[in-house]
Amino acid sequence: MNGHYDWEESESHIEMKIPLKGTKPAAVDIFATDIFIKVNYPPYLVLIDLHAPVDETKCRPRIKNGTLTIKVEKHNPAIWGILLAKGTKKELAARRQASIEAKSIRDEQLKEKQKDNKVATERSSLRKQMALEETERNAIEQKKTKEKEDAEAEVYKTFAEIEQKKAVAKEQKQAIKAPVVAETKSTPTEDDFDFSKYDDIDTDSESDMEADIENDDIDEEGEEENRANREAEEDVVYIPAPRTTAQVKFGFTPRLFPTPARESKQTEEGDWISKNRSHLKSHPHFNKNKKYFEQLVGDVTESDPTWLKGKGDDFYRSKDYMSAINAYSAALEVDPDLPNVLSNRAACYLCLGQLQKCIDDCTAALKKLPTQDEVPNLPSEQVKYTKLKIRLFIRRGTSSCQLAKYEAGLSDYNSALILDPKNQLLQFDVKRIAVLCRCASLKEEGDKSFAAQNLDQAIKHYSAALDLDSSFVSCLSNRAICYLAEGKHQKCIDDCSTALTLLEVSPDPNKLLPSGPMPPVGSGKRKQWVLKTLVRRGTAYSQVSQFKEAHADFQHASELDPENVALKEDVEQLAAAAAAAS
């Protein structure tokens, strides 16, 4: 359904105001180029082909009091007088498509520029870091060199003092050993003696003289022995007793990666262990020493579910959903009765598009939750219990809706709304899913009519569904087939173009847009949807002799399925027809 809007302008800007009519801000999708603005706020859609170019990079949307205000700066300041561009529907569509392609090119160029800037910034930061590290290394080397020189100088000084002390001691020792020089006396002659005074000497005293001589010899030997003893006492050096021996054992921190500590990255290694924990036990490198492996990995990472849950939460916050799933699964292997861990793993599955696994985890968590009577009668515990239960219902309901199981999804959202009846977002979601349930029912009736070859009735059912929700893609595509079969080629072209526009939008996991059962982005089934819609629109173009447009659609379809020989033949035929028509 087309939405309502008001606008006003100045020489430099235009301003548009769109009442959202109860649509929550998170559900509003805005797309703008230099000449085209699209606002999707289910079930309403506003398409504006601008009269003149604007600067879409300076588009400033703002939501206040339920009204969306979009202010855009004009490319060339002037008063337009009118907002919408004039021209036929075909001309406006071509103008719009050219603008979208130009915007895509600009966006790609901007991404490349941002990428180059990021690389340049990282390189500059790396160079600065390397320069800083080089400066620190040089400072450390200079400090080490100075300390080495100071230590060497101190050692040489100590050696010099020791040598000096040895020299002094040696000189003192030599001074002690030197012989005592007797005073020199002149040798007396015979004429100098007066022998007359010895006349009275008793000649028998010769034996006494010999005894005196012998006694003199004994005294000299004793003196020499005493001198030797003194020298020996001076040469004795005290040597301390040997010290007792002992063994000192050094223990090293166990490391999983045999790399030097200076090259290891403990944070990255810990993350790797958490991701691959379940496979490490069977690795041949760790089977050689199981005791070491259990000491390294088995103490915390495999036995503490709280630690594992915290690790999974860290991975989830960094959007590494697969690693978070591994951590949560490891925690559940230790303790399967953890509903909050099941809830967190379900959120990861939902983000990865593994919807059935998300439903299974939510169901298991709801079964493991205690009853209301078993919860401690404390306000904090009651609030915690209620919030966890609401999250489980919402996640399971969202997965069911994305699998086109709208009845199951509506039941879960109603259960969540009962627990939090004042939540306006839940109230809106319940109304939205109720509409989708009705649309799915009408589509099913239309499919039955189409199978029975009742095209008018099928179109009636599909149109009723699209009146409730204009972005229900499967109804658009199926109604286009009916129009093509009835020969209403322009209506077929319009429905296919709208469907392709919705299929090109990358859906937000938190929103149900585009509506209806839709394959995930990037999947093979979604590619087949786009291919079939292109072929239907190309066929309709060829029926109204617009061979150039038909050739473009078939060419695009052939690029999506390059192995399809029939498509290649159709492309060649349409190329020839387009050349003949021109």
Terminal Cα distance for the chain, rounded: 38
Q: Confidence class of residue 537 from pLDDT cuts 50, 70 and 90? A: very high
Average pLDDT over residues 154-178: 83
Contact 315, 327 (CB under 8 A): yes
Classify domain 6-86 by CATH number: 2.60.40.790
Contact 27, 68 (CB under 8 A): no
pLDDT at position 150 over 60: yes
> In this predicted model, what pLDDT tens digit does every residue of 103-124 receive, in sequence order?
888 888 888 888 888 888 888 8
> In this predicted model, what pLDDT tens digit does every residue of 457-472 receive, in sequence order?
999 999 998 888 888 8
| Continuous H helices in 420-472 | 424-451, 455-468
Report the percent of the chain where pLDDT is more than 90. Answer: 21
- Please tell me the predicted confidence (pLDDT) of residue 457: 92
Contact 70, 24 (CB under 8 A): no
Going by C-alpha positions, the residue among 453, 491, 451, 478 that lies closest to residue 533 is: 478
Q: Which residues are within 8 A (CB) of 29 and not within 5 positions of it... i.e. 6 or more apart?
A: 39, 40, 41, 505, 511, 513
- How many Cα atoms are found within 13 Å in the side-chain-facing hemisphere of 448? 6
- Alpha-carbon distance of 37 to 400, in angstroms, equals 32
Rounded to the nearest integer, the mean pLDDT of the chain is: 80
pLDDT at position 218 over 50: no
> In this predicted model, what pLDDT tens digit does every residue of 480-497 receive, in sequence order?
999 988 899 999 999 998
- Alpha-carbon distance of 437 to 44, in angstroms, equals 18
Q: What is the DSSP string of 71-99?
A: EEEESS----S-SBPPS-HHHHHHHHHHH
pLDDT at position 300 over 80: no
Task: Output helix, strand, coil percentages for the chain, rounded to the nearest 5.
Answer: 65, 10, 25
| The residue to which tokens 């003893």 are assigned | 229
- Cα distances from 10 to residues 3, 61, 79, in angstroms, run 24, 17, 7
- Cα distances from 28 to residues 1, 65, 324, 396, 539, in angstroms, run 15, 14, 30, 23, 34
- Please tell me the predicted confidence (pLDDT) of residue 492: 92
Average pLDDT over residues 278-286: 60
Judge residue 92's burial from the number of C-beta atoms within 10 Å of its C-beta, 0-12 exposed, 13-18 middle, 19 or more buried: middle
| pTM flag (> 0.85) | no
* Strand, coil or helix: 52: coil
Q: What is the dihedral of CA 287, 290, 296, 302, to 10 degrees?
A: 90
Contact 71, 15 (CB under 8 A): yes
Where in the chain is CATH 2.60.40.790? Answer: 6-86
Taking the CA atoms of the chain, what radius of gyration do you get in angstroms?
50
- How many Cα atoms are found within 13 Å in the side-chain-facing hemisphere of 11? 2
Q: What's the CA angle centered on 179, arms 175 and 184, to 5 degrees?
A: 125
- Please tell me the predicted confidence (pLDDT) of residue 140: 92
Q: Which two tokens stand for residue 501?
A: 């526009």
- Please tell me the predicted confidence (pLDDT) of residue 514: 58
Average pLDDT over residues 230-235: 53
| Beta strand pairing call for 13-19 and 67-74 | antiparallel
- How many Cα atoms are found within 13 Å in the side-chain-facing hemisphere of 70? 25
pLDDT at position 290 over 60: no
CATH of 435-581, one of 2.160.10.10, 3.30.70.980, 1.10.540.10, 1.25.40.10: 1.25.40.10
| Sign (positive or negative) of CA dihedral 86, 90, 93, 95 | negative
Q: Confidence class of residue 287 from pLDDT cuts 50, 70 and 90? A: low
Residue predicted with more confidence, 210 or 480 = 480
> In this predicted model, what pLDDT tens digit does every residue of 54-87 receive, in sequence order?
888 888 888 888 889 999 998 889 898 888 888 8
Q: What is the CATH superfamily name and number for domain 276-430?
A: Tetratricopeptide repeat domain (1.25.40.10)
Where in the chain is CATH 1.25.40.10? Answer: 276-430, 435-581
Going by C-alpha positions, the residue among 364, 273, 275 that lies closest to residue 327 is: 275
